[in-house]
Structure 1
């Protein structure tokens, strides 16, 4: 029998090691996702923890310009969140690329973003086995020097990942360590290659995904990459035209930059989610996490000093992902270690 949203929050908070001595802060937008706020508060109380709800009028970024952030609510929100031990983000768009997130985790607080429907949260709950797979992928990235991605469709992309300080994102869906951020659900590993080093070609095929548009690619698209930036988007179908229109709308060269790259590791995540569910009810974590996908993104990259609300995640199927001479994904299938 499916669990209620509160029951799933209780299970998740246990994974996040919420203790009776702690205070849980819930960041939300006024009038949005109230059922998540209620479930988070109820779960905290069931575990004996305190709960504090922090409502802002709006924190989510629009998908198209014009966009001028209003930061007047950020300082008091951060002051209150700083008194909490564990912060749950249930805003509509998430604080993933916001300095709100980095300032909370930078002060040693655990932070979790939650956006998916209840049954997705339950079906894709994290585990210690998933965590081990994600950490192994991170170790492989950290030890490598070149990330190379190819596909039968014509993708041939390389990026420099050398260096002990390579920024790596490990997402296994829960946070039980100080200063850690994660997204429930999740199951992937990604890195931010050394800036302006990505070179080559990405060829999107029908069935690849465009997030946060929450839809599948319908027609082939060829994307030429030079010095870490998209130099050209071409194709005979509507997708190439739409992508060009989106990038051009911002009138900002940084939206054309490549950001993070990695692959999915969550076996129970299904590629069909955008057709099974109402797409706009999803945040897209299932597609990001499908085992064996190659995912790359555009725009925002705090490690390179690029802050822009224009950001696409593009999970692709059928790719081969190699780190130096070691293949981690072959033709869209995970290679077992």
Structure 2
């Protein structure tokens, strides 16, 4: 267990990320949190903003009751605001929003209205600051992520293969692509820290083939490395077969079935990690309460495959898996960008 105390080095790290977000003396900044938020990060955000001469204020909401039949982890869709009008209005007017909610505002229903008003949102992932400080802003990473996102937006076909047996075909035409390098300085935009991820949300009926999760691949909803293979068969976006022996496959089958919702079996997004500061073995270094797993999503060269909601395909569900897979090869229109889990020199 890491000590939850204020450290000057962590205030420094928060100041660095806020400077990249163009926070200036006198700026108004809303710190959004809930009663179950990591208090240490909320305090560090406040102290960093004050050190920079900004004018922060807090919005603290009660963490709502989980109405689902299973625990919810790492959805990126915070339910804390509950469409409360005065809260949305305050965030719209804040200019800069530091999001310290547990799940984050990335896919929250209120986020589009907040962004349309011109506010910019920095989602601070629910990590211990010991992890955050290792992944502070990297200007070279910004350039590479932007180049990867541009390439994805111009791609018609993605193919994912692996020595374990994966062979997945993704029709990328019309897919929505997002690149996140860890900060945002433009009104009406959202980013999350840590960054270094590029993902696409394909349109409906575009994903077919086989994915084989090998031992050592990761189920971030469960925060565990796999110890046995899992074979996923996908047809028109949906997992239609999930085979595997042992606890890993059994828990995935049970969790998916518990939702009683076909959309939980659908693909949310596909992409890969690009952050050189993100470590594959990091999940072993933290107690489960001390990590949200964003670092594992950003590990360079992992194929980040996710199930659950995809608003661009008209699918909505609270069920969600983020499944970083190592050792894959990813080709975009025949150009290999990830080879056996290694990012190729194609992004500058």
**TM bucket by the smaller chain?**
over 0.9
User: What RMSD in Å do the two structures reach over aligned CA positions?
Assistant: 1.9
Give the stretch that moved more between structures: 74-83 or 27-36: 27-36
Query: What TM-score does the superposition give when structure 2 sets the normalisation length?
Result: 0.91
- Say if 2:292 is the partner of 1:270: no
Match of residue 14 from structure 1:
19
* CA-to-aligned-CA distance 1:89-135 (integer Å, 9 cap, x gap): 11122222211223222322110111211121111112110011101
Residues in 1 aligned to 2:312 and 2:113: alpha-carbon distance in whole angstroms: 14
Q: 5, 9, 13: which one pairs with 1:4?
A: 9
Find the aligned partners of 1:88 and 1:62 in 2 and give their Cα distance: 26
Contact map agreement 1:61 1:309 (CA 8 A) in 2? no
Query: Which has the larger displacement, 34-43 or 8-17?
Result: 34-43
Deviates more, 1:226-235 or 1:44-53: 44-53
Give a deviation string over 1:259-280, Cα, whole Å, max 9, x none. Answer: 1100111112110011122233
CA distance in structure 2 between the partners assigned to 1:100 and 1:50 by the alignment: 23
Residue 97 of structure 1 pairs with residue 107 of structure 2:
yes
Per the alignment, do residues 182 and 222 of structure 1 end up closer, same or farther by CA in structure 2, a change over 3 Å counting? Answer: same
Inter-partner Cα distance in structure 2 for 1:113 and 1:60:
22
Change (3 A) 1:149 1:60: farther
Structure 2: tracts of 5 or more residues without a match: 1-6, 73-78
Cα 1:237–1:254 change in 2 (3 A) is same
- Does 2:144 match 1:133? yes
Contact 1:56 1:73 in 2 (8 A): no
In the other structure, the counterpart of 2:91 is 81
The answer for the alignment partner of 1:323 in structure 2 is 332
1:32 aligns with 2:33: no
Partner of 1:153: 164
Deviations 1:220-252 (CA, angstroms, capped at 9, x unpaired): 000000000110101122211111100100001
Given the superposition, is the C-alpha separation of residues 250 and 170 from structure 1 closer, same or farther in structure 2, using an over 3 Å criterion?
same
CA distance in 2, matches of 1:72, 1:276: 34
Moved more, 222-231 or 206-215: 206-215
The Cα offsets for residues 31-67 of structure 1, whole Å up to 9 and x where unpaired, read as 5322222221221122121111001101586774499
Q: Distance in 2 between matches of 1:291 and 1:319?
A: 12
Residue 261 of structure 2 is aligned to residue 246 of structure 1: no
Shift of 1:76: 2.0
* Greater displacement, 238-247 / 71-80: 71-80
1:211 and 2:211 are equivalent in the alignment:
no
2:51 equivalent to 1:46: yes
TM superposition score normalised by structure 1: 0.94
| Per-residue CA distance 1:130-170 (angstroms, 9 max, x = gap) | 0111011111111110011000100000111113xx31111
SS of 2:48's partner is helix
CA–CA distance in 1 between the matches of 2:241 and 2:66? 26
CA 179–306 in structure 1, closer or farther in 2 if over 3 Å, else same: same
Q: Provide closer, same or farther for how the CA distance between residues 72 and 150 of structure 1 changes in structure 2, counting only shifts above 3 A.
A: closer
Count of residues paired in the alignment: 333
Label 1:277 to 1:145 Cα distance change in 2 as closer, same or farther (>3 A).
same
Q: Quick check: 2:70–2:255 contact (8 Å CA) kept in 1?
A: no
| Distance apart, 1:196 and its partner CA | 1.9
Aligned 8 A contact 1:126 1:187 in 2: no
